[in-house]
Amino acid sequence: MSGVRKLQIHLAAVTGTAGTPAGLDDLARRLAAACGPDAGCGTAVRLDPDPSRTILIGPDATVEHRATIEVRGEPRDPELLVDVLHDVDRATGLRVASVLIGAEHVVAPHEHALVLTYRLHRLPALTTAEFQRYWLGHHAGVALEVPGLSGYRQFHVAVDESAALCDRLAVDDPMLDGVAEIFFPTTEAFRTLMASSAVAVAAYQDERRFIDHRRSQLGLFRRTVIRTPLSAPAAP
């Protein structure tokens, strides 16, 4: 399955500064303009306090992921894209941690106000292709067995394309292999699902077959859809 192409920018805290998401919406609109008139866009800001911090994943993660800008569409003007991203620190006080281009696969179609963003690194023994094949071909089925799961997407990163953009922006944080997004209507729904044995035992044990939990990272974010379309069709 080819999925739906999209661009995702992860923004991180700068050491010694708080940062602010105040300029995110404008940046998202400008990035969407670089992807054409039909591109949808949106943002997500990490909750404070974030209940996902109690989950013991990511002790070796090096990025304090604070916000996300997402554009659904293909970058048509790379120069404009780079120019906009150069304005991130001035507009928000945050820095660009990841510039990701790839394909999104919608495993469970519902969307809610909160999204658990799971920045994924593969196990060193796997190639990116092997990681993504197992993630979609097997682990998606494990996730669909979780009672109460209503919204789940897999964003498969095109590593070479993403790395080329990162090089132009002098972004040197470790490249991700994928981003999982799980949607929740409330923080209570998040706590209930994550505490279930289907997640805490079955899904977690399957993740150990392909995800490097020490380098991967979780965060619970509040979403804002700025311009539709932002939703991809469900995978068959």
pLDDT digit string, tens, across residues 181-207: 999 999 999 999 999 999 999 999 999
CATH of the domain spanning 4-227, picked from 3.10.20.740, 3.30.420.40, 3.30.70.100, 1.10.3330.10: 3.30.70.100
Structure pTM? Answer: 0.92
Give dist(CA 32, CA 43) in Å, integer. 12
Q: What is the CA radius of gyration of the chain?
A: 17
Q: 13: which DSSP letter?
A: P
Mean pLDDT of the 88-113 span: 92
Q: Is the distance from CB of 88 to CB of 94 less than 8 angstroms? A: yes
Residues in CB range of 175: below 8 A, 6 or more apart: 98, 157, 159, 162, 163, 166
pLDDT, tens digit, for every residue of 43-83? Answer: 999 999 999 999 989 999 988 899 999 998 888 888 888 89
Give dist(CA 155, CA 174) in Å, integer. 17
Let me know if 99 is exposed, middle or buried by CB neighbors in 10 A (0-12, 13-18, 19+). buried
User: CB count, 10 Å around CB of 187?
Assistant: 15
Buried b (16+ CB within 10 A) or exposed e, 190-229: beebbebebbeeebbebbeebbbbebbbbbbbebebbbee
**AA identity, residue 2:** S
Residues in CB range of 210: below 8 A, 6 or more apart: 122, 123, 126, 130, 131, 134, 135, 139
Does the pLDDT value for residue 9 go beyond 70?
yes
